[in-house]
Amino acid sequence: MDTRFRTVVLLVLFFTAAFILRLFSLQIWQPEWKEKAITLTSDRQSIPPSRGLLFDRNGALLVGSRAAHDLMVLPRMLAEMDSAALEGAAQWAGMALEDFDAALTKAKRYSRYKTSTVRRGIGVEEHARMASTIQAYPGFSFRSRPVRNHIHGVAGHLIGEYAEASRDNLSADAFYRMGDHIGRSGLERVYELELRGVKGRTSVLVDARNRIRNTAQAESGDKPAESGQNLTLTLDLTLQRFAEQLMHNKKGSVVAIEPKSGEVLAMVSAPGFDPDMLVGSQRGPYYKTLVSDLDKPLFSRAIKATYRPGSIWKMVQGLVALEGGHIRPSTRFACDRNIIGCHGPHSRDDLRNAVIHSCNPYFYKVMQRVVNAGDGDSKFERAALGLDDWRKRVMAFGFGTNLGGRLPGTSLGSVPDSKYYDGIYGRRRWDFGTVYSIAIGEGELLTTPLQMANLAATLANRGWYRLPHFIHAVGDQGKPLGLGTLMDTGVDSSHFQPVINAMRQVVEDPTGTGRRARIGGIAVCGKTGTVQDEPRKDHSVFIAFAPQDNPQIALSVYVENSGFGGQWAAPIAALLMEQYLTGNVSNERRLNRILEADLMDPYPEPETEPTAPQP
């Protein structure tokens, strides 16, 4: 028994000694194995998910994804570089020396043990060139990631920007790491959670140069990435692209809505920008030019700009007064130009003709009845109560609201109440005579192009609308809950007929101000507006819907500092409606006039002194 025990002990000691000697041999006499072991380490890498795609309402791809390459650095693996080596590395990286040095300094400050981005958006050919010699630059590696590919370069304001996550983003959500991208504006921001997908994880062996040596190191927690959900937008690509073409060399906006659903068919802010230029290495210089442009191409006029509504507001005034019982369609007022200026050969209109002729004294009298109808012991008290009732009825049309606020930064506009005027003139020290300018869409009233397009949709529906929205479906789940909520103005549908008849005559009557919006074979209802912007030229504004009896499209068109509403906004609206309803444009002369027009100069031509006749 003792002999066998001693034999086992000796065998254990023998094999232990042999193992120790082998380790000693590998580490001391054959150091290359030691170095190789040191240079190999396990690393768990995240797998970026494919971001969801964006399609138009008919299935056309608007925004896809393509691969981009970023140059990364792991500071702890950087070799010591003198000035010559640093300059050589910068040249290899395709960067200016000072930018390259600044990027390395920033990476070291962030973390010596985590990779940081040195350069983003490297092209395919340049990536291939750099990759062939990357072994000469320890510590550097490449990361491939999906970036946005704007197929048609349209709807930049609406779709928004997908850009690098900020420090606040990194702090707020553990999903993001330095160098990751996030929706920064527009729909990319609103639907970030749906679009971004779920990151995967994989374990690999990497060497000292951060190169992957083995990908078959599966560990618990490893999983594939899950792609983000696709979005089907409400936009019609053909209409959107056409609208952007028509608004070239112009400032303003177009918003088109499908009346029955509230789905936005097109939304344009001009001047615009190429969203694909905000992706990759060209982003920085391009963004700087956009920011410094005095015409503010990054500003989304369609939802953020506010304008006085002008003559278009008179239809709202008439409808509010009809519902309140202050007038009837047959009510007539004399066109008394002593109380407020007017234009055109008319003298005593009913409601329909007052809309057609845009009679200022008529709607002065209408508003006077509405405001003075409030209860109270004095004219000041009656005016305050009457104005607040009027405001409540006006806001039921969506004015003074963000119409559901489906995009960040949507303006409310302004519909003044009694508190507003109390703050200016003192409590109950004003009456209708102080605030009468709002009767004709001037003064303190402010509306947005989106609100005015929504008004056109409300008129088309004879008193109701659905909150405007931009998403038709998310993934396979259809339209998200809460989109397109039904809203009622509280005005009976019967009151809309005289206003709609007037809108039809604005376009069809030989003296109508919207004659340039006529479309052969299609009954168009519209209203022009000319909004003052002194000392610059007036804004040209037009709202419309068509066809009259089965409306398929409602829209607002704003062309800043271009003249009368019927001069530019009306023909642009006509071209868009015809294109959407028929699939083509029949009036080539109208089309060429709009396409060739450059209306960027906001100031009228200076008056010149008459010159004496030459001898």
Question: What string of DSSP letters covers 126-180?
Answer: HHHHHHTTGGGSTTEEEEEEEEEEESS---HHHH--EEEPPHHHHHH-TT--TT-
The verdict on pTM exceeding 0.75 is: yes
What pLDDT is attached to residue 615?
38
226: amino acid identity, one letter: E
The shares of helix, strand and coil residues in the chain, as percent rounded to the nearest 5, are: 40, 20, 40
* Three-state secondary-structure class, residue 390: helix
For residue 92, what are the contacts with CB-CB under 8 A and spacing of at least 6? 130, 133, 136, 137
501 to each of 57, 349, 353, 459, 552, how far by Cα in Å? Answer: 32, 14, 10, 11, 18
Length of the chain: 615
Q: Residue 207 corresponds to which tokens in the numbers above?
A: 């060497």
In CATH, what is the architecture of 308-447?
3-Layer(aba) Sandwich (3.40)
Low pLDDT (below 70) residues in the chain: 1-2, 8, 23-45, 203-221, 606-615
How far apart CA 421 and CA 383 sit, in angstroms, is 11
Eight-state DSSP code of residue 41: E
How far apart CA 403 and CA 399 sit, in angstroms, is 8
Residue-wise pLDDT for 9-61, tens only, equals: 777 777 777 777 776 665 555 555 455 554 455 556 677 788 999 999 999 99
How far apart CA 129 and CA 133 sit, in angstroms, is 7
How far apart CA 397 and CA 400 sit, in angstroms, is 9
* Three-state secondary-structure class, residue 2: helix
Question: Topology of 235-303+491-603 in CATH?
Answer: Beta-Lactamase (3.30.450)
What pLDDT is attached to residue 29?
57
| Angle in degrees, 0-180, between the axes of helices 449-460 and 313-323, rounded to the nearest 10 | 50
* Three-state secondary-structure class, residue 50: coil
Contact criterion met (CB below 8 Å) for 145 and 268: no
What pLDDT is attached to residue 24?
65
Residue ranges, comma separated, of all CATH 3.30.450.330 domains in the chain are 235-303+491-603
Residue ranges, comma separated, of all CATH 3.90.1310.10 domains in the chain are 50-68+140-233
What pLDDT is attached to residue 319?
98
What pLDDT is attached to residue 111?
86
Q: Residue 361 corresponds to which tokens in the numbers above?
A: 């004294």
What pLDDT is attached to residue 612?
46
How far apart CA 526 and CA 344 sit, in angstroms, is 19
What pLDDT is attached to residue 213?
57
Question: Topology of 50-68+140-233 in CATH?
Answer: Penicillin-binding protein 2a (Domain 2) (3.90.1310)
Eight-state DSSP code of residue 108: H
Residue ranges, comma separated, of all CATH 3.40.710.10 domains in the chain are 308-447
What pLDDT is attached to residue 205?
62
Residue-wise pLDDT for 126-141, tens only, equals: 888 999 999 889 989 9
How far apart CA 123 and CA 131 sit, in angstroms, is 12
Q: Which helix (H) or strand (E) holds 506?
A: helix 496-508
What pLDDT is attached to residue 23?
65
Q: Which helix (H) or strand (E) holds 363?
A: helix 360-371
Buried b (16+ CB within 10 A) or exposed e, 406-441: bbeebbbbebbebeebeeeeeebebbbeebbebbbb
What pLDDT is attached to residue 38?
47
* Three-state secondary-structure class, residue 9: helix
- Burial, 324: exposed, middle or buried (Cβ in 10 Å; 0-12, 13-18, 19+)? middle
